[in-house]
Structure 1
Amino acid sequence: MILVSKYLVPKGYSGLTLFPFILLKERRLKTDKRFINHERIHLRQQLELLIAPFYLIYGIEFLIRLIKLKNWHLAYRAISFEREAYSNDNNLDYLKRRPFWNFIHYF
């Protein structure tokens, strides 16, 4: 389910996926197929990890990358879940053929 709210999405981000919701800062993003595909990849990742472990791993990996890279944006982009989503968000058929736990290849 896609919800639009400029108040629920943190400053500096356009969208956020909190299972089972995709939160968007702007209504126009609902028609951005690449952006929605990116967020749907995150929904699949969250389901595969039974939701709560996804957030735990995401947070730990972000902190490790932040300590190593000393840059918030670079640390965010280096998270395995983000790397998979950014690498495949232009492929609108990706989720149809994506192997289970494919994010592991991005660690």
Structure 2
Amino acid sequence: MKVFYESKLAKWLLWQGYSTITLGCFVFTKKSKEEMKQSTLNHEAIHVRQWEECMIASAVLLTVIMLFTGFNLWVYLLCPLWFYLQYGLEYAISYVYHLCRNRCWINVGDKAYGNSAFEMEAEANEEVDGYLDVRTPFEFFRYYGKI
């Protein structure tokens, strides 16, 4: 995991209240190295691991699909995006769920963001140094169905 501190990309991409984003195996943050908390680094490292797992799983899945359907090799370009597609789908489903459940727009986006399985795993374990050493693969699946 490579961290880019005081990143212009982070300043450009992130709105107020957010300081750090993981894109693939790279972490971009508005903060300086001195300002960055270890828990934030742990949180983002968990996202990097999730991204790696989703990329590998999507490559395996696409290979199986290609064996039966003859998809073009260009489909493999989706592999690095799988994490973000899944994240976006989770967000959309959770957004609709909270919108219907609460029948109002207040904090629906924040609730949907926090109820992503990826976010729930990262938030639950960001204070645990060495979590990635003991984490089982695809641990985020354990958080599906928990809202």
Q: TM-score, normalised by structure 2?
A: 0.68
- Shift >4 Å, 4+ stretches: none
Report how far residue 28 of structure 1 moved: 4.7
Cα gap change, 1:101 to 1:88, in 2 (>3 Å): same
Task: Give percent identity, aligned residues only.
Answer: 33
Stretches of structure 1 that go unaligned for 5 or more consecutive residues are none
Matched positions, count: 107
Structure 2 CA distance for partners of 1:89 and 1:29, relative to 1, 3 Å = farther
Contact 1:9 1:15 in 2 (8 A): no
Query: Which structure has the greater CA radius of gyration?
Result: 2
d(CA) in 2 for partners of 1:69, 1:29: 37
Q: Distance in 2 between matches of 1:66 and 1:105?
A: 20
Aligned mates of 2:23, 2:35 — CA distance in 1: 16
Deviation at 1:20, TM superposition (A): 1.9
5+ residue gaps in structure 2? 56-79, 100-107
User: Whole-Å Cα distance in 1 between the matches of residues 138 and 35 of structure 2?
Assistant: 26
Q: Secondary structure at the match of 2:89?
A: helix
Structure 1 vs Structure 2 CA RMSD = 1.5
1:1-107 matches, within 5 Å, as 1-3=2-4, 4-5=6-7, 6-11=10-15, 12-28=17-33, 31-50=36-55, 51-70=80-99, 71-107=108-144
User: What is the TM-score with the length of structure 1 in the denominator?
Assistant: 0.92
Q: Secondary structure at the match of 1:13?
A: coil
